Amino acid sequence: MIPDSAFALQGLVKKFDTKVAVDGVELAVPAGSFFGLLGPNGAGKTTTLSMAVGLLRPDAGRALVLGHDVWRDPVRAKSLIGVMPDGVRLFDRLDGTELLTYQGLLRGMAPDVIDARVAELLDVLALTDAGRTLVIDYSAGMKKKIALACALLHAPRLLVLDEPFEAVDPVSGAAIRDILTRYVAGGGTVIFSSHVLEVVERLCSHVAIMANGRISAVGTLDEVRAGRTLEEAFVAVVGGRVSTGSELSWL
Ligand SMILES: Nc1ncnc2c1ncn2[C@@H]1O[C@H](COP(=O)(O)OP(=O)(O)OP(=O)(O)O)[C@@H](O)[C@H]1O
C-alpha cells in the first residue's frame, strides 16, 4: 500500500530541560506536495524537522516516511529522504567533488553514476569552480548549495530542507527554485522551513505555521491564506507585536 502522506508526523514531542520545544506536532505532508513550514524564531521548526528525519530522538511520537518509521526502520526510511539540516555540518576538509563522491559511496551508488551526477549538480548550482576547493573555505551560500547537492545526489523521493534559501545569492536562489519545482513536477515531495514568505507563496502548494512548538495553521496555501496575503495570515496566526512608537527613543 502506498500511503497518501509522504511524510507523517504523529504526536512529536521534544523537551530541552524544562523548555517544551515541540509540543505534540501532528503533520501530514501529502505525496507530491511542495510544503512550506513557517513560524517565528524559536517556534520549533528545526527541532521538528530534526526529529522527523532521524537526527534528534523525540521524547514521544513518531515520524513515518512513505509509511516507514524513521526510528524503527531507519535504513529504509533514510534511503528515501534527502536532508539539508540546519547549521549544515559537512566534512569540510574535503573539496566539493570529494564530499559529493563520499556521500554517493555512503549511499551505495555506482562510481560512474556518482561522477556524472556530481558534475551535473556542481554545474547547475554554479559550483564547478569550487569543485576543487575545500568546503571549509566556502562562503555560507556555497555551503548551503553543496549541502543541497548532497541531499539531491541519490534522487530521493522526499526532500527535507531547513531554510534552503538562506544566504544564497539571487541567481543561485532561482536555480534552487527551478531544481525543486522540477523535482516536485516529477513526482517528488519537498518540505522546507523558511522565513521568506514571498518564496513560500511562490512555490508552495501547502503550508503549515508553527508557533510555540505547535502547528497553529495547516492546509493548502489558499486555505491558510484565506483571502489574505501569507504575511497577513502569518501575523494573524502568530500574533504581531504592537508598537507604541516610543521604543529605542535613546537610539
Ligand atoms: N539543543 C538545544 N538545547 C536547548 N534548547 C534548544 C535546543 N535546540 C532548540 N532549543 C530551543 O527549542 C526552541 C525551538 O528551537 P528551534 O531551533 O526548533 O526553532 P526554529 O523554529 O527552528 O527557530 P529559527 O526560525 O530561529 O531557526 C527554542 O526555544 C530553542 O531555544
What value of ipTM does the predicted structure carry? 0.97
Which residue's alpha carbon is at the smallest distance from atom 11 of ligand 1?
Answer: 21
Does 135 score more than 50 pLDDT?
yes
Cα separation, 24 vs 11, in Å, equals 4
Lateral strand order in the sheet of 5-16: 19-30, 5-16, 60-65, 68-69
Nearest C-alpha neighbor of 131 from the set 143, 141, 140, 119: 119
Tell me the average pLDDT across 229-251: 86
With the most atoms of ligand 1 within 8 angstroms of its CB, the residue from 14, 46, 86 to mutate is: 46
pLDDT above 90 as % of the chain: 80
Tell me the average pLDDT across 8-18: 96
Does 3 score more than 80 pLDDT?
no
Tell me the average pLDDT across 134-152: 92
- Tell me: the pLDDT tens digits for 112-129? 999 999 999 999 998 988
With the most atoms of ligand 1 within 8 angstroms of its CB, the residue from 15, 18, 45, 197 to mutate is: 45
Task: Give all strands (DSSP E) within 59-134, no chain letters.
Answer: 60-65, 68-69, 81-84
| Alpha carbon of 46 to ligand 1 centroid (Å) | 7
Q: Which residues line the pocket of ligand 1, CB cutoff 6 A?
A: 16, 19, 21, 39, 41-47
- Tell me: the pLDDT tens digits for 27-81? 999 999 999 999 999 999 999 999 999 999 999 999 999 999 999 999 999 999 9
Does 1 score more than 50 pLDDT?
no
Does 243 score more than 90 pLDDT?
no
Residue of higher predicted confidence among 178 and 22: 22
Cα separation, 53 vs 124, in Å, equals 26
> What pTM was estimated for this model as a whole?
0.92
Q: 31 and 6 in contact (C-beta within 8 Å)?
A: yes
Q: What's the confidence (pLDDT) of residue 108?
A: 94
Q: Provide the pairing of β-strand 19-30 with 34-38.
A: unpaired
| Alpha carbon of 196 to ligand 1 centroid (Å) | 18
Mean pLDDT score of the chain: 93
Cell 529504509, residue located? 76
pLDDT band at 219 (very low <50, low <70, confident <90, very high): very high
Cα separation, 172 vs 164, in Å, equals 11
Q: What's the confidence (pLDDT) of residue 231?
A: 94
| Alpha carbon of 42 to ligand 1 centroid (Å) | 5
Does 2 score more than 70 pLDDT?
no
Contacts of 140 (CB under 8 A, 6+ apart): 167
Q: Is 250 left (phi over 0), alpha (psi -120 to 50) or beta?
A: alpha
